[in-house]
Structures are given as structure tokens and as C-alpha cells.
Amino acid sequence: MTEMEVEVELDTEIVTPKIPIDKINIGKRFREELGDIKALAESIRDVGLIHPIVVDINNQLIAGRRRLAAFEHLERKEIPVTIINIEDIQKAEIAENVERKDFICSEMVAVKRYLEPELVATAEERMKEGKPSSKLDKGRTDEKIAKYVGVGKTTLRKAETIVEAAEDDPEKWGELIDEVDSDETSINAAFKKIQAQDRAEAKAALARTGKTKAHIKKQDCKEFLNELDDKSVDLLLTDPPYYTDIDDIESFVDSWLDLALSKIKDTGQAYIFIGAYAKELKTYLNALENGEGKRFGEPQILVWTYKNTIGPKPKTQYKRNWNAILYLRGPKAPDLNCIELVEQYSVQEFSAPDARHEVKYHKWQKPIDLAKRLITQGSDEASFIIDPFAGSGTFLLASSELGRKNLGVDEDDEVIKKAVERGCMIDN
């Protein structure tokens, strides 16, 4: 290899053009509130400008208003730019080998907003004049722009959704667009997060307007249970704190279990979720051998298992991917309402709520479809269901969706706030 060849090879890095800052036309498209420019300027001073600003051939700013302000704060005279030439796109001259840095999410959308009106107008004018279309003009405008910014059409549309969400509700989504622009979160993951939130809000609106509401209130578990008449409840469906979350499991179980069982009718039933820990299982099973537990006979241990969450890998134990559910039947309880035999298996598999695909409101949140199955099997539409450890309201919402009267309590203001966000009503 000659010295000349070496020199050429070393000179193949992307060279980003620079233009004088005072030559850039900002226009009126950009918001006046630019946030913490000083912090951004310090970052640029320390690590450099990762993404050039975007301008057109007339130096009209398309994207990068905050980066431009940061350079001004640093008293720089020039700034690196990516130059958009709309004529190249109109002529289908989108070179695959154009050497420039990739556009970040907000820039993709800014470029699309800049280019789209001109491309649409040009296409309409060609149609009016009856001119034959070029090979690229036959495609859709958004396909042209997506190709220019280096992504697929679907990805560009997802980017638009993210930017529009941040513009419509900066408090909720402003940080998300920053995460995407800084490559902390992918466009696809951010888009899924917004979709999940939209679905959650739609479900909450439906719960608030449904015929049967989900009711929750802030109250101590024992105080709540003491207010209920004995043998007035058709179904106890609850998920109390686990062995790992309390100091003394035996004292805790003694404080509420017998009292709760006393409120269940002889025709009633109960499902109590507990952790997959030997001491916790032993404590509950021992407690059910005495007092009110005798009225329900020997409990059956059901299992909810899931395989969609991973977490840290244990070194000395097997991975716990299940919860026990203690199933209790009053002496006069009716038969289980099970249509399919597979729904009556003592081991039920449902995916755990997963923040990667849906809004997750609580770390121990249970699948609402599992709750609905248990409610369907252990109650009817005339039933009254209680949850003395309601958390974010999953069991109450499932009850209301199935038309069951319900009431739950919790002492934590934050989880009650989440329950209300999901569609529960505060009961006074």
C-alpha cells in the first residue's frame, strides 16, 4: 500500500460542513422556551456537538434550535450543519452514499414537516400540468422523506407520534422524546409506551362510565373489615403484602385473616394470593386450621405461574415464577362456574403485567384476565366482592367489568392515586 493510498483511507471520515452562526435564519417556527441552555452548552463544550443542526440550502433552520442557542452561549462563531436540499428529493437524487450523521427522532419529524408541503405542492403541480412522474414521484411523499432521513416509512410515522405526544403534553412525554433523541430509548420502544398509555387511558375512561363502578377508599384493613356485617360478603379476592415486605408474617396474618373470613357468607368463597415462600405458606395454612378457617374446610392451593419476566438470575435457588392462591369455599358454596376444563386446572399460566408492553401500576400487580377468571368462577352478578389490600385496584376493576358490586381499601396514597388513574372511584 502506497503512502497516497494510506492518506486517502484515513481521509474517509464524515466531514460535516460548518456555517457562520450569524448567517442562520431561525424563523418563527420554534418555541421561545428553550429550557436549560447553560447545561446543554456545558455538555457540548465537554464532549462536542454530537448531532449537527439541520438547515436548508438558504440557511433556514429546520432542527436544532437549542443546540444553536448553546453555541451562541459558548460564543462560537460557526456551527456544524446538515444541509437539506429539497431539489435532490424532488429529482429522486437521494444518494445512498451521502455521508452525514443520522438524524435523531425530533430531527426526522422536523425535516418531514419542512419538506412535506413543498413535495405535495410539486406533485400536485405536475399532475395539473399532465407531466409524467419520475420514478420517485410515483411513491408516496412520506416514503420519499423516510428514505431521505434514512428510516422506513413506519419508523418515521412512529417518530411523528412521539414528537406530537411531547408537544401536546410536555409534562408527560417531554422526557421521553429527550430519551429517544439521546438514544437511551428506541423509537419503537417509545412508540409502544405511548400506545400502552393510550390503551390504559381508554380502559380507565370505560371503567369510569360503566354501569358498575370500581370503588376504593383510603382506610386501614382491620377498620374496614370491622365495619362490615358478619357473613355479608360473597367473595374475598385479595393480594396482601408478602413475607418479604413485612417484619413478622405470623403477627400480620393473625391481624386480619380470621376477621376477613368472618365476613364471608356460608355460600361465599375466597381467593387469597400469597408469596412462593415456605414460611409464608406454612403460616397461612396453620392459621386456617383454627378459628374461622375451620368453617371453610381444607384450603386448596392454586398456582399462578408466569414466564415473561426475567430479573436477576439466582445463584443458589431456583427462580420463583409463581404465586400461591389459597382457595376457600364456604360450607354451602355453589359449584364453580367453569365452562372449560382447562380453566379449572389448579395451575394457571398468565403473563405478568410487563412494563415493556403495557402500563404497569404496581410492582406486584396481577393480570386482570386472571382476576376476571377467578371472579367468574367464584361469584355471580349479584355478588358483593371485597379486597382489603386493594393496591392499584386490579381486582376491583375486574369486578366492575364483570358487573359485580365491589369495595376495596388501601392505606397508601400513591397506590390509591394509581387506582383512580386506572378508573377506580373514591368511595367516601
**10-residue averages of pLDDT along the chain (428 residues):** 37 66 80 77 87 88 89 92 72 46 85 83 71 52 82 93 93 92 93 93 90 95 97 98 93 97 98 96 96 95 91 86 97 93 94 88 92 97 97 97 97 96 92
Neighbours of 69 (CB within 10 A): 18
Cβ contacts of 194 within 8 Å, gap of 6 or more: 161, 162, 165, 173, 176
C-alpha cell at 69: 442557542
- DSSP run (H or E) holding 270: strand 264-274
Rg value, the chain, Cα: 30
pLDDT value of residue 49:
87
> Distance (Å, rounded) from C-alpha 84 to C-alpha 52?
12
**Cross-strand bridge partners of residue 385:** 235, 406
pLDDT value of residue 103:
84
Cα-based distances in Å from 246 to 21, 225, 250, 259:
61, 20, 10, 19
The correct answer on CATH 3.40.50.300 for the domain covering 210-309+319-426 is no
Residue 194: phi and psi, rounded to 5, are -65, -40
Residues 16/46, Cβ–Cβ less than 8 Å: no
> Distance (Å, rounded) from C-alpha 185 to C-alpha 351?
24
> Distance (Å, rounded) from C-alpha 126 to C-alpha 208?
52
Give the torsion sign (CA, 112, 118, 124, 126).
negative
Give the torsion sign (CA, 327, 332, 333, 336).
positive
pLDDT value of residue 3:
38
Cα-based distances in Å from 181 to 36, 105, 155:
16, 6, 14
Q: Where are the chain's structural domains?
A: 13-201, 210-309+319-426
Cβ contacts of 15 within 8 Å, gap of 6 or more: 99
Neighbours of 241 (CB within 10 A): 15
Closest CA to 76 of 32, 40, 127: 40
> Distance (Å, rounded) from C-alpha 346 to C-alpha 265?
24
> Which architecture characterizes domain 13-201 according to CATH?
Alpha-Beta Complex (3.90)
Residues 374/236, Cβ–Cβ less than 8 Å: no
pLDDT value of residue 286:
96
pLDDT value of residue 32:
60
Note the pTM of the prediction, 2 decimals: 0.74
- The residue whose grid cell reads 399460566 is 349
Cβ contacts of 2 within 8 Å, gap of 6 or more: none
pLDDT value of residue 214:
96
Q: In what order do the strands lie in the sheet with 53-56?
A: 18-20, 78-84, 53-56, 61-63
> Distance (Å, rounded) from C-alpha 420 to C-alpha 427?
11
Closest CA to 172 of 189, 199, 193: 193
Q: What's the DSSP call for residue 327?
A: E
pLDDT value of residue 247:
92
